[in-house]
Structure formats: C-alpha cells, structure tokens
Amino acid sequence: MLAIGSDHGGFLLKEKIIEFLETEGIDFRDFGTYDAQSVDYPDFALQVAQAVASGECDRGILCCGTGIGVSITANKVPGIRAALCGDTFSARASREHNDANILALGERVIGPGLAVDIVKVWLESEFSGGRHDRRLKKIAAIERGYTKGE
C-alpha cells in the first residue's frame, strides 16, 4: 500500500496524483490534508514517514509547495529515504540507486502532468542493489549515530 499526504501548498497536486492512483488501481492511504486551508507540513510528512518506516505502507508520496519541507521532515524519521524529484530521470535514479521509499513533489514547482509522469516512473522503478546496497548501509549506520562506514 502507498501512503500519500500533503499540506495546503501541495493539496491540489496530491488530488491529481490520487486520481492517477485510482485510475491505475493502486491501493493507497490518504493521510491528508483534505482541503486547501493552511496547515503545517511537518504534521502530514511525519504521518506518512511513520507509516512507511513502520511497514504499514510500502512507500509514500508527499506534496507541499516546493517539496522541500516535506522531504526534510520525512528524512528525520529513521529508515526513510525521501527524494525530492522534479524530473523522471531523478525519480528513476532515486529508486534504482537510493532505494527511495518516499517521493517528494512541489506543486508550485512542477505541473500536474509532469508530476504524474514522475510518480509513474518512480512506482515502476526498482532498487538495483549491488554497489548501491553498500552505500545504503552507510546511510543506515549514520542514522544509528556512527560516523565511520561499516
């Protein structure tokens, strides 16, 4: 299952992505917000990140005005690798090289058509493993408080 959430600045983009997910028959859980009234992005980014980190959801998508605030917040949760992507190349690489488990998008930065293309590529891409696995282990070690690679 996919987790999705946004603040007011990403609400309309989240709704477009939900339309795409429904059309594709992709199961998701909407963590809000549910309208364009002003809210604080950390509240929604944390909920999505916790759902992914706990295994309740496999991956997540977060939207805000720029995608920056939600990605910073989500990346504070251990085990989360949130990637802010504004193009399909980065979306593919974030999955293949970084095993990104949350995609962050900025409604005020990209349009809905590109956003849906990015989501599609991100959902279809898989982690490549190999040399990239070693790098993810180093990131996990940093999360545990180590400064030297394992």
Q: Is residue 150 part of a domain?
A: no
Is this structure's pTM higher than 0.85? yes
Dihedral pair phi/psi, residue 86, rounded to 5°: -120, 10
Residue 115 token pair: 């956003």
Q: Is residue 51 part of a domain?
A: yes
Q: Is residue 149 part of a domain?
A: no
Q: Is residue 134 part of a domain?
A: yes
**H-helix or E-strand spanning residue 84:** strand 82-84
Range of the domain at 77: 2-143
pLDDT for residue 147: 64
- CATH code where residue 14 lies: 3.40.1400.10
* CA gyration radius, the chain: 15
Q: Is residue 20 part of a domain?
A: yes
As a three-state string, the secondary structure of 124-142 is HCCCCCCHHHHHHHHHHHH
pLDDT tens per residue, range 88-124: 999 999 999 999 999 999 999 999 999 999 999 999 9
Residue 108 token pair: 């005020």
Distance of alpha carbon 1 from alpha carbon 128, whole angstroms: 21
Q: How many domains does the chain have?
A: 1
Q: What is the pLDDT along the chain (150 residues), one digit of tens a residue?
A: 999 999 999 999 999 999 999 999 999 999 999 999 999 999 999 999 999 999 999 999 999 999 999 999 999 999 999 999 999 999 999 999 999 999 999 999 999 999 999 999 999 999 999 999 999 999 999 998 876 655
Task: Please give the single-letter amino acid code of residue 83.
Answer: A
- Residue 150 CA: distances (Å) to CA of 22, 76, 126, 127: 42, 21, 24, 21
Contact criterion met (CB below 8 Å) for 122 and 85: yes
Q: State how beta strands 59-64 and 2-6 pair.
A: parallel
DSSP annotation of 57: S
Q: Which residues are catalytic?
A: 64, 97
Q: Is residue 124 part of a domain?
A: yes
